[in-house]
Chain A
Amino acid sequence: MIGISTIFFLETLAYASTLALLSLGLSLTYTTTRVPNFAHATIASIGTYVLLTVVGLMRLRGLNIYLYSIPAAFITVGIITLLQYVLVLKPLADRGNGLIGLMISTLALDIILMGVINIYADFLLQTFKAKKVKLQVRDQPALRSYDARIELFGQNVNVSGLVAFATLIAVAILLWLLLNKTKTGIAMRAAIENPALAEVLGVNVNRMYMLAWFLAGGLAGVGGVFMGMVQKISPAMGALLIVSVFAGSIAGGITSVFGSMLGGLLVGFAENFGPYYSSLLLNMDMTGYDKMFSLGIIVVVLLLVPGGLASLDLSGLKKRLPLLRAGGVEVSGE
């Protein structure tokens, strides 16, 4: 690509794949309970702390980092997210809380988790000190120097971008197979689309939702691992990430799991390449404005295609165009 170095491209690929994993999971949980999980980004940062713990305590380097931290993050964060559904959202929904109550509960959980991560960071710091591990727990620079390296286009680069993208592709294929080729997956789609009918047919809808939340959390945890490889690690990292994750989900169509995955990739690239190219174009420093690009995507998509990219089929576009020309699309309700 014009003017983009291989290293910059690979870092962007790692970041975009991370966002894709997060947006995908966010949509998966959204389709089950119809509540946007505002804790999703902070949940992903738990995965980053799993990475930090594993790398620090097991003194891992290179590909071993991924070998151990990905399964560990998947399981840990998957279970935490499952607990969010089982212990918080499901009971609150059963008690008759509406959308606002459920949304605020995810915001509350976000804050609880932030507190927990900070406390955990304090403990981790003491452990690191005792074991003479030279890692920070707050404002630790990305773990680039721990990463494995390969030769690519004559350059010596980190593998994080390639591993992240390969993981994303593998996740996409496995998820597609699960949802379309297995009994459980079809039952999950059925339970998501029409829980009442699924229940009548004897499907345990609650168990399907639990599986969806576990998977979504697990994938967020894996995303958190890649996050720590390319971005500064701090307990507050989720607060910034949340805008990008929602931008990815909204861009792709928040009820479309695979659409959100593509949306996440799009947002990841836009956030890195956008400032880069606009700096060149406007001849001023645009770094630091990366989140403006995800906000821009949210605003444009909500104003023009509230259903996201997944809703954009050709017939839909044809119907929409005259409306757009006539001065905007009005959408309300479902």
Chain B
Amino acid sequence: MPTALELVDVNAGYGKLHILYDISLEIPEKEITVIVGPNGSGKSTLLKTIFGLTTIYSGDVIYRGVNIAGKKPHDIAKLGIAYLPQVGNVFDNLTVEENLRMAAHDFPKTAAREAIEEALEMFPVLKAFRKRKAKTLSGGEKQMLAMAMAMIRKPDLVIFDEPTAALAPKIAVQVLKEIVRLRDEFNKTIILVEQNAKRALEIGDKAVLLVSGRIQFKGGPKELLTHPELSKLYLGLK
């Protein structure tokens, strides 16, 4: 598989707070890369760094041959990268349709309408809720809406920050199924950060273990799941 995104010796953090150390990583095209690690290991920071939401002290973030380190989030979004934050990824006081309109807000009118319909086709569940405010949706439905919003721009690379946090296990499985569908049906490249390592690694194609801001492991998910020390030390698996 060719590489979609590559991080080369990246050091990053928030202001003076250094969090990520010498991160080098390749994200293969049309695969799901799962990033796991204990709390506070810098998983979310890594995603934010790719999307231009942190301070990068050194290193390069190369997306399809272009160095995007230091670019502004809305410029990165234009290159075809979508980022779904862990919380606050939909507008609660806007209706489902208005939320989708916001995601397409700089599209010409007809293109926006088409994009919204397409997104609703991808997540048919949402069709019934068009006029309902997002705050009335369930946790799972909100995640679908957030995904639909991300799909409006037809991104090639989608970054998920703990999409199943605070969801009931049954619904979490559904959301992960939708993520698999994005890869299989729509050929998206996906980076996924998950708290529940086991569940995520089962659907992933590549695994990355982050500990204290450094990469401890890169390779196949099965390999990590069955690794005698790492899985026990950092993933709480026996």
Binding site for B on A (CB under 8 A): 183, 186-187, 189-190, 193-194, 196-203
* CB of A169 to closest CB in B, whole Å: 24
Q: Please report which residues of chain B, range 194-220, place their CB below 8 angstroms from some CB of chain A when the two chains form the complex.
A: none
Instruction: Report the contact-size class of chain B (Cβ under 8 Å from the partner).
Output: 20 to 34
Minimal Cβ-Cβ distance residue in B for A184: B105
- Judging by beta carbons under 8 Å apart, are A199 and B98 in contact? no
- Judging by beta carbons under 8 Å apart, are B73 and A186 in contact? no
**Chain A proximity mask over B77-114: 1 for CB below 8 Å, otherwise 0:** 11000010100111111100010011101100000000
Collect the chain B residues with CB atoms within 8 Å of residue A190's CB. Answer: 91, 94, 98, 102
- Judging by beta carbons under 8 Å apart, are B77 and A202 in contact? yes
Binding site for A on B (CB under 8 A): 51, 73-74, 77-78, 83, 85, 88-94, 98, 101-103, 105-106, 149
CB-contact partner of A189 in B83, B89, B93, under 8 A: B93
Q: Identify 9 residue pairs between A and B in the complex whose beta-carbon atoms are under 8 Å apart, listed by A's number.
A: A190-B98, A194-B91, A196-B85, A196-B88, A197-B88, A200-B74, A200-B83, A203-B102, A203-B105
- Judging by beta carbons under 8 Å apart, are B105 and A187 in contact? yes
- Judging by beta carbons under 8 Å apart, are A186 and B98 in contact? yes
CB-contact partner of B105 in A193, A194, A201, under 8 A: A201
Collect the chain A residues with CB atoms within 8 Å of residue B77's CB. Answer: 200-202
- Judging by beta carbons under 8 Å apart, are B85 and A197 in contact? yes
- Judging by beta carbons under 8 Å apart, are B89 and A197 in contact? yes
Collect the chain B residues with CB atoms within 8 Å of residue A198's CB. Answer: 91, 102
- Judging by beta carbons under 8 Å apart, are A193 and B73 in contact? no
- Judging by beta carbons under 8 Å apart, are B93 and A193 in contact? yes
Collect the chain A residues with CB atoms within 8 Å of residue B92's CB. Answer: 193-194
Collect the chain A residues with CB atoms within 8 Å of residue B106's CB. Answer: 202
- Judging by beta carbons under 8 Å apart, are B85 and A193 in contact? no
* CB of A191 to closest CB in B, whole Å: 9
Collect the chain A residues with CB atoms within 8 Å of residue B101's CB. Answer: 183, 186
7 interchain residue pairs of minimum CB distance:
A202-B74, A190-B102, A190-B91, A186-B98, A193-B91, A193-B93, A194-B88
Collect the chain A residues with CB atoms within 8 Å of residue B73's CB. Answer: 199-200
In whole angstroms, how far apart are the Cα atoms of A213 and B224 in the complex? 54
In whole angstroms, how far apart are the Cα atoms of A198 and B99 in the complex? 10
* CB of B72 to closest CB in A, whole Å: 9
Given contacts A183-B101, A187-B102, contact A197 B91 (CB under 8 A): yes
